[in-house]
Amino acid sequence: MNKIAKLFITLISALTLTLSSVTSSFAKVEGDMIVLGSAISLTGKYSSNGVHTQNGYNMAVDRINKMGGVKVGGKSYKFEIIYYDDESNPKRAAQLAERLIKQDGVHYMLGPYSSGLTKAIAPVTEKYKIPMVEANGASRSLFTKGYKYLFAVLSPANQYLEVAIDLAVEKNGGKPVKIAQAFEQDAFSQDVRLGILDAAKRTGSKIIIDDKLPKELNDMAATLAKVKATKPDVLVVSGHTKGALTAIRQISEMKVDVPMLAMTHCDAAKLSKQHGKNSEYALCASQWHKNLSYKDKFFGGGKKYDKDFKKEFGYAPPYQSAESSAALLVFKDAFERANSFDRDKVRDALKATDMQTFYGNIKFGPGGQNVAKPMILFQVRCKGDVCENKVVAPTKWASDKFFHPIPKWSERS
Amino acid sequence: MDFLIFQVPMLMVQASMDGILLGILFALIAYGMALQWGVMNIINIAQGDLVILGGYIAYTMYLAGIHPAWGVIVSPIIMYFVGWALYKLVINKVVDRDLFISILATFGIAIVFQQLMNFIFGADVVVAQSGYGTTMLFDNSVTLPNSKIFSAFISLVYAIALVVYMKKSRLGRAIRATAQNARAAKILGVDTEKVYAATFGINAALCGIAGALISITLTLHPYVGLPYTVRSFMIVIVAGLGNLPAVAISGMGLGLFEEFADYILGTEFRIGAVFMLLVFILVYRRFKLSKKREYLK
């Protein structure tokens, strides 16, 4: 009797196991739902940008679903996203990617926030041959590993501030410049640094200060004192929001005069809001700005996106949200062109993507990075106490002229 | 390696001033740690997170339109009660236990605080503006933010006030008695439970002051507490418990060490150098102690 009972239990559990694995392998498309998965930082140090990313995804999902969904094989499907909180922790993100793929049976992934986390997830999606469109991992090293299932809608990190060096050289009458730079020691910022090194080599410019900032750092007085002593033509700082805020605080307090200041993450740091006039003339790299003239039929243009996003979430969309929304437009386009849910067909369709979205043109290079969209530079300009980000490069979209050199502190009111 | 600092003498002055001003602030945090370590034999890993919480109190005031410098008065008052509540909730259960248990407990508190701050204030880096301007010396070649001078001054004022309070007041004497010998103090009628709660509260209040000062001199973020814990831990190890002048001097020494490490080794080794120094000091102390022990044998 006992033996029979045991056998029975074994049989039942075997059956449930088989069934569960069978259901999960169909879970990619349930009924008229295309299920996408994403591990995203809802808690931990990246949580604010994680939420921007999630809002961007959600906004696009709603919009696409409302406007007829995704048409595959004559049937209309809707997007749905399964989110897990990765706690801003790369290990956790990799585990969650496994879970999304193996347990939830997700066959298409959206990227997490930050290069570090994307780096943790990419080997997993690659192993299971899951196409992932990511919008927030710009590190160059993501695109040199030969990943076949990774597609990024954004420009790689090394392009962020290269343009700024070109601008500096141009303003210097085409002659090489002296560069001082301080970069945080993380994948993203170090890639921005590589871009600067390339630009310096190309233009024959010299790097006279090359500091690396530890991630716990909130004091860069030493770097700035060196800048004061050596008088470079351009100071480049990249260390996420903390780097941007610390730099402006201490540059203004120590009255560091430098003709040009180029940074990243000004948007996320709400630089002009937190530091007001002290942040004026800072030059910032951005993936997107609402004034760009790109268009698509879902969001219209940048300004319309900005308006709709504000209405829905109550704040102006940072570029992290815009690029995340663009990721879903790419997926929709690829599904429709593949006209199938076969992963490899979708992957090939992604590979062949060549489209315009409100966020910019998207076309993937051999490593999966977006090669069709230039980075833009904006400069913080103030009128009275109100400061705004004005696009100054590339010239095609420039709303204002690039102000150079930055006036000395003694001449600034 | 970079020897620019030796070529430009003004950089040396700048580094020294920056180091000393920052060091005084560290010393204030370290003094709180020394006090509670001496009295309760607890190493508070959450020290840095209490500092950051204090900073967020000042930042909240700043958002409400009040000048953040008032934080140096409001923040310690609120933080005193936070510390007191923490003692009643958690610390009183581990105060008589082994050091390891209290380290674990405060480590847990640190994680909870980080997540709470992240939840309440968000993961964005924030700053409060004091608008204090800058003092320029030697024809503008050395610049000292007035906010840093202000913070060093306030730290000194509070530190001196605390020393006087510990010497003169009834509670101060009770705290010192408990630190010397808790059992004897208890027998002589000191309510050690109350003393412990007050000590933890005072420590949190000191962290609150330091946090308010950090909000106007540096930046705030829910996850930057740990470096403050490590720094104060190190200052205390060097200075010993309950010796304020030593704490102040070793605080300034640490500030100087950090600045010079930054200039010479490079910014990337700044925090690393602090950790290295910690290891070095611990090894050295152990070495000295073992020699003493041999002698005793």
Kindly list the residues from chain B whose CB atom is less than 8 angstroms away from the CB atom of residue A269.
124-125
Per-residue pLDDT tens digits for A27-74: 467 778 899 999 999 888 788 889 999 999 999 999 999 998 899 888
Kindly list the residues from chain B whose CB atom is less than 8 angstroms away from the CB atom of residue A48.
122-124
**A214 with B262: Cβ contact below 8 A:** no
Closest listed residue to residue A194, CA positions, set A186, B267, A242: A186
Does B119 contact chain A (CB < 8 Å)?
Answer: yes
Q: Give the distance from residue B265's alpha carbon to the nearest chain A alpha carbon, in angstroms.
A: 10
When CB atoms are compared, the residue of B22, B263, B270 closest to A214 is: B270
CA distance A269 to A17: 49
**B118 with A44: Cβ contact below 8 A:** yes
**Are the C-beta atoms of B93 and B108 separated by less than 8 Å?**
no
Q: Is B44 within the bounds of a domain? A: yes
Q: pLDDT category, A17, cuts 50, 70, 90?
A: low
Among B1, B114, B125, the strongest candidate for a mutation testing the A interface, having the largest count of A CBs within 10 A, is B125
Q: Give the distance from residue B61's alpha carbon to the nearest chain A alpha carbon, in angstroms.
A: 15
| Average pLDDT value for residue range B272-279 | 84
CA distance B153 to A212: 31
Which chain B residue is nearest to residue A243, measuring alpha carbons? B125
CATH 3.40.50.2300 in chain A is located at 23-155+291-363, 159-286+375-411
Confidence (pLDDT) at B98: 84
CA distance B133 to A121: 46
**B18 with A45: Cβ contact below 8 A:** no
Does B13 contact chain A (CB < 8 Å)?
Answer: no
Per-residue pLDDT tens digits for B217-232: 888 888 888 888 988 8
Q: Is B133 within the bounds of a domain? A: yes
When CB atoms are compared, the residue of B118, B221, B226 closest to A242 is: B221
Confidence (pLDDT) at B82: 94
> Percent of chain A having pLDDT more than 70?
94
Q: Is B1 within the bounds of a domain? A: no
Q: Is B147 within the bounds of a domain? A: yes
| Average pLDDT value for residue range A327-334 | 92
Confidence (pLDDT) at B294: 65
* From A323-332, A336-345, B119-128, the region with the lowest mean pLDDT: B119-128
| Residue B285 pLDDT > 90 | no
| Residue B247 pLDDT > 90 | no
ipTM above 0.85, yes or no: no
Q: Is B2 within the bounds of a domain? A: no
Confidence (pLDDT) at A27: 44
Kindly list the residues from chain A whose CB atom is less than 8 angstroms away from the CB atom of residue B8.
229
The contact set of A with B (CB < 8 A) is: 43-49, 88, 182, 185, 211-214, 216-223, 225-226, 228-230, 240-242, 245-246, 249-250, 253-255, 268-270, 274-276
> Percent of chain B having pLDDT more than 90?
30
| Residue B186 pLDDT > 60 | yes
**B140 with A221: Cβ contact below 8 A:** no
Per-residue pLDDT tens digits for A66-101: 998 899 888 899 999 999 999 888 999 999 999 999
Confidence (pLDDT) at A40: 93
Confidence (pLDDT) at B65: 87
Kindly list the residues from chain A whose CB atom is less than 8 angstroms away from the CB atom of residue B140.
255
**Are the C-beta atoms of A379 and A358 separated by less than 8 Å?**
no
Cα A78 to Cα A32, A296, A350, B197, distances in angstroms = 6, 19, 18, 58
Q: Is B183 within the bounds of a domain? A: yes
Looking at residue A222, its amino acid is: A
- To the nearest whole number, what is the mean pLDDT of chain A? 87
Q: pLDDT category, A313, cuts 50, 70, 90?
A: very high
Q: Give the distance from residue B223's alpha carbon to the nearest chain A alpha carbon, in angstroms.
A: 7
Per-residue pLDDT tens digits for A399-409: 888 888 888 88
| Average pLDDT value for residue range B61-85 | 92
**B219 with A249: Cβ contact below 8 A:** yes
Q: Per the structure, how many domains does chain B have? A: 1
Q: B140 is in which domain, residue-wise?
A: 7-296
Cα A86 to Cα A97, A120, A226, distances in angstroms = 9, 11, 39
CATH number of A159-286+375-411: 3.40.50.2300
| Residue A150 pLDDT > 70 | yes
Kindly list the residues from chain A whose CB atom is less than 8 angstroms away from the CB atom of residue B25.
none
Confidence (pLDDT) at A24: 41
| Residue B75 pLDDT > 90 | yes
Confidence (pLDDT) at B219: 86
Per-residue pLDDT tens digits for A245-296: 888 888 988 888 899 999 988 877 777 878 888 888 888 988 888 888 888 9
Confidence (pLDDT) at A14: 66
**B227 with A241: Cβ contact below 8 A:** no
**B125 with A253: Cβ contact below 8 A:** no
Kindly list the residues from chain A whose CB atom is less than 8 angstroms away from the CB atom of residue B2.
226
Which chain A residue is nearest to residue B114, measuring alpha carbons? A44
Confidence (pLDDT) at A413: 65
Q: pLDDT category, B143, cuts 50, 70, 90?
A: confident
Cα–Cα–Cα angle for A386, A388, A394, rounded to 5 degrees? 160
CATH number of A23-155+291-363: 3.40.50.2300
Does B219 contact chain A (CB < 8 Å)?
Answer: yes
Cα–Cα–Cα angle for B200, B206, B208, rounded to 5 degrees? 105
Q: Give the distance from residue A66's alpha carbon to the nearest chain B alpha carbon, in angstroms.
A: 32
